[in-house]
Structure 1
Amino acid sequence: GSGGGEKTAHELGVPLLGAIPLEMPVREGGDAGVPIVISDPNSASALELTAIAQRIAGKVSVFALT
């Protein structure tokens, strides 16, 4: 379905960091041990995963300063 991540984030009171399109190559790459960010770095899923990683890194760096 859709909206589950938003609903859960809201219920837990945490920010939603992103939503990854579940393209078939994401599942296939996971099964094969080849992440989508390696096999197809320009796909919608890879771009969103990269953006999420950047947001997490930004949040972690803020906590490291405190």
Structure 2
Amino acid sequence: MASEHFKNSLTDIPGIHLGQLTLAEGEVQTGVTVILPYPLNVRNRKLFLGSFASGNWNEWTGLH
């Protein structure tokens, strides 16, 4: 049986930091998720950028 502490999540990995923000004002529904794969004290990190958006008719656009 798996430990109750572990939830099969990125947060189970030591050194991984996650952040999330949702903005919902009127018709604006947007948000951002940040995954930092290194401890915060590591300098000269190489990070990747990705962006995806959904349109009105399930159209998806992306940058990665």
> Is TM more than 0.5 here?
no
The structure in which a higher percent of residues are strand is: 2
The structure in which a higher percent of residues are helix is: 1
Flag the structure with more relative contact order, 1 or 2, with Cα contacts below 8 A and sequence separation at least 6. Answer: 1
Normalised by the length of structure 2, the TM-score is: 0.29
Which has the larger Rg?
A: 2
